Amino acid sequence: MELTTKDFIKDYKNQFQSMYAYSYEEGSTEQLYNALGLLVKNYISTPWKETRETYIKNSVKQVFYFSMEFLPGRQLKSNAYNLGLLDTVKEGLTELGLSFDELSEAEVDPALGNGGLGRLASCFMDSLASLSMAGNGNGIRYQYGLFRQKFVDGYQVELPENWLRYRNVWETSNDKSTCMVRFGGNVWLERNKQGYLEAKYENTLNVLAVPYDTPMVGYRNDKVNNLRLWSAEIPVEEENNYHTIEETEPIKEITQVLYPDDSNYEGRLLRLKQEYFMVSAGVQSIIRHFRKYNVPRKNIPDKVAIHINDTHPALVVPELMRILIDEERLSWEQAWEITFKTCSYTNHTILREALEKWPIDMMKELLPRIYMIIEEINRRFVENTLPLYGERITWQTAILQNGVVNMAHMAVIGSHSVNGVAQLHTDILMNDVLKDFFELYPERFNNKTNGITQRRWVHLANPGLTQLLDDKIGEDWKKNPSELKVFKGQEKDKQTLKQLAAIKLENKKRLADHIEKVKGIKVNPNAIFDVQIKRLHAYKRQHLNLLHILHRYLEIKQNPSVDYAPRVFIFGAKAAPSYLYAKQIIKVINSLAELVNNDPDVGDKLKVVFFENYGVSLAEKIIPAADVSEQISLASMEASGTSNMKLMANGALTLATLDGANIEIRDFVGGDNIFVFGLTSPEVYELKAAQTYNARDLYENNSNIHRALNALKDGTIPNLQDEGHAIFESLVHFNDEYFVLKDFDSYVQAQEDIDSLYKDQNEWTRKSLLNIASSAPFSADYTIKKYADDIWKVKSCAVEHEGVQPLDE
């Protein structure tokens, strides 16, 4: 949009004064930020309204992305940037004697997700809007986000994240669009006068779902989509029944807090309530919205696509059936046809412990009508499958099994499309985890490799690199990421390589300052910045990284002149509060950091930095400064990964197992420009099947492993209780479930190769350039384009020359 600096200044002064009734010069940073945020939101309101109207007027097909998690990150900068106002706003503030960066840091970063799954949902929102596609988010407005992590004595401590304590300028509560969600009670079917079977309810707990809408601003295309997050409140007409705070608790608690488990399913009743609450409110509001389209109900799938982001929202299937049958009075067959054509499902993990299975008794009691419908879906599924495929496949794929509702099975059976998030992961779904379903419905399966938005992760996080790209290849890459490959042409240009190295160094200096400020550790900006940032989990193997650092430390102690390039190992990771082993790994890394960072024999050779409270905002600081991207999960375990893509796009070299999207990264950048180590996925499958793995043998016969493992428990590392022992036990006595010791040697070798290459700065930077230039396929714009073409069948509403260009690859 067009705005002069002068107009902005006038608007801002007015905005501030109308909110606080004094001059901006007297405002606190929070107030100054609030006024700025609300002003930018005012600028958004017109395209937001017009986008909504255009979709309805043109009867455009809309996607509804149902996700229990969204991790949008701070929105001020990104919104101003996508609107095309960032420079004007910065200039205007400078004229007023204010700093944009300072105000922007005052914004809270809403932590409404655990990790990759939630961040992916937000990257998708950004791409949908930027591609001018009608895409809506549907989720929960948790009052408390993911816990704030603090280290006390090296141990993780969890503090509540009360992100709504200050006002959230981006949301608008929409009282007009509330819905009622019913839980529990008795339900029965009764034939009414017209001959319909009617569902009758008594003694239900009625919860009011209030939507809070947040604008999702497209990149320079005047399109603004909607993210709708639901909050649970007491229905107004029932307020008189709730006398005390204790009585309101069962309602308020539904949207109080995000479950902090990533890749682990915890079968708590409250979580099931959250899932149904979000699903029911979302589906009701879609059906209500659809009435505005004025087309027959059988055409719902032509106008609406509902996406199920992992199984958490899989109750969409029976809930849509319930509404179509009980409220819209369709027959079962008609309702099923619509539901199946409307829904699609993404699987994000093969970890057994993450697959949701709800006890039938719990489901029956909490959601009696929904359970009746699930039973009928299951009955019909069995009836159809049994004669065609026989007993084994039928019972293996049924929704109801051994007293539980298998949510993945429900999602697959109720969806026309099932996808994994990287090619290897999709292959594993087809050949292993969902093998029987692949036999039943091969046509439903497809791969959609994850992606990231370059706007947040390159344009905004790395302005130096962005400017260099603009200078060298022009600005087209911003709207058409495939243009990035043009940058490859400069791989031999000394001048470009020098500039690229200088930009990386600047970013590292900035991060080094931040490290000193928050951790009190001085690091050398010329050292290799080696980064592992992701949730803490045994399968991601932060403890492999830990063992290698310990190995290096012991080598240095033995031979202080050993030839290692200076290295800073940087970690960011939260552990689920109930995941003891993950917390023990954090403690050991922190204690090792204390040892290494304070040992004068070590000097610059080795520093270890574990940031507290890793999240989107911290990632934006770390990623542009990274030299090495650690992607070291046991092959087959990491569905995709997305930090691998962000780091690559910022010029880090990847050190990886052939897992998840790492394989595709290697394919695009070429085997010479990535460090690969460890078992491959087929090798992992083979080794597991053979049952011949013996970790103790490796401990006893490999001297490096022996020494490092002993150092975990002989007092080398200070201030440990039994945490070092715990890691030792899991690796040696419990036979190393994730093959850490098996991959140790090849990991150490790859790390040494990194040292050698780094000595040749020119060659290193050349490979860094090739990584940047090969990162385009991981633009979420491409990912979304594929979802739109293959799964959702939605089109861009861009008029020509607007927004992100029609994409070619």
* Residues recognised as catalytic: 348, 534-535, 540, 642, 646
The least CB distance from residue 425 to ligand B1N, in Å, is 8
Which residues of this chain interact with ligand B1N, rule CB under 6 A?
114, 116-117, 120, 259, 261-263, 310, 348-349, 354, 421, 450, 638-642, 660
Distance CA 483, CA 776 (A): 8
The token pair at 656 is: 């990886």
Q: Cβ of residue 683: shortest distance to ligand B1N, in angstroms?
A: 20
Residue 253 identity: E
Residue with Cβ nearer ligand B1N (356 or 436) = 356
Determine the Cα–Cα distance for residues 90 and 205; give it in Å rounded to an integer: 50
CA distance 662 to 81: 30
Exposed (0-12), middle (13-18) or buried (19+): which is 228, by Cβ within 10 Å? Answer: buried
Residue closer to ligand B1N, measured from CB, 263 or 730: 263
Enumerate residues 6+ apart whose C-beta is below 8 A from 15: 35, 36, 38, 39, 42
Q: Is the CB of 532 or the CB of 642 nearer to ligand B1N?
A: 642
Q: Least CB distance from residue 114 to ligand B1N, whole Å?
A: 5
Bridge partners, 359 (sequence order): 404
Q: How far apart are CA 745 and CA 487, in angstroms?
A: 35
Q: How many alpha carbons lie under 13 Å from residue 117 in its C-beta half-sphere?
A: 28
Q: Tokens 């007015």 belong to which residue?
A: 14
Per DSSP, helices labelled H in 135-185 are none
Closer Cβ to ligand B1N, 120 or 528, answer by number: 120
The minimum distance between CB 105 and ligand B1N, in angstroms, equals 27
Burial of 672 (0-12, 13-18, 19+ CB in 10 A): exposed
What are the φ and ψ backbone dihedral angles of 348, each rounded to 5 degrees?
-120, 0
Q: How far is CA 87 from the centre of its chain?
A: 29
Minimum Å distance from CB 70 to ligand B1N?
12
Least Cβ distance, residue 308 to ligand B1N (angstroms): 13
Angle between helices 494-519 and 463-473 (to 10 degrees): 170
Closer CB to ligand B1N, residue 148 or residue 535? 535
Rounded CA-CA distance 713/726 in Å is: 9
- Backbone angle region of 216, left / alpha / beta, with phi > 0 → left and psi within -120 to 50 → alpha: beta
Paired residues of 230 in beta bridges: 140, 211
Residue whose CB is nearest to ligand B1N in the complex, by number: 116
Residue 792 DSSP one-character state: I
Q: Which residue has the tokens 């600028």?
A: 43
Q: Which is nearer to ligand B1N, 313 or 525 (CB)?
A: 313
- Least separation in angstroms between residue 244's CB and ligand B1N is 32
Coil, strand or helix at 771:
helix
**Nearest alpha-carbon partner for 306 in 348, 280, 347, 342:** 342
Under 8 Å between Cβ of 653 and 764: yes
Nearer to ligand B1N, 394 or 417 (CB): 417
CB 747 within 8 A of CB 677: yes
CA atoms of 83 and 40, how far apart (whole Å): 9
Q: Which is nearer to ligand B1N, 121 or 798 (CB)?
A: 121
**Nearer of residues 221 and 642 to ligand B1N, judged by Cβ:** 642
Distance CA 776, CA 459 (A): 13
Q: Which alpha helices (DSSP H) does 240-325 contain, by range?
A: 245-252, 269-291, 300-303, 316-322
CB of 264 to ligand B1N, least distance (A): 7
Closer residue to ligand B1N, CB minimum distance, 199 or 351:
351
Q: Cβ 348 to ligand B1N, closest distance in Å?
A: 3
Distance in Å, CB of 124 to ligand B1N, minimum: 10
Three-state secondary-structure class, residue 111: coil
Each as own residue / partner, the long-range contacts of residues 164-170 (CB below 8 Å, 24 or more positions apart, any chain) are 166/30, 166/34, 166/108, 167/34, 168/108, 168/110, 169/34, 169/37, 169/38, 169/41, 170/37, 170/41, 170/75, 170/79, 170/214, 170/215
Contacts of 503 (CB under 8 A, 6+ apart): 462, 464, 465, 468
Helix (H) / strand (E) element for 730: namely helix 723-732
Q: Which phi and psi (to 5°) does residue 255 adopt?
A: -110, 25
The length of the chain in residues reads 809
Q: How far is the CB of 619 from ligand B1N (least distance, A)?
A: 14
The minimum distance between CB 583 and ligand B1N, in angstroms, equals 18
CB 673 within 8 A of CB 655: no
Nearer to ligand B1N, 114 or 779 (CB): 114
**Which residue, 568 or 639, is less far from ligand B1N as judged by CB?**
639
Residue 652 to residues 85, 469, 602, 619: CA-CA distances in angstroms?
30, 16, 25, 14
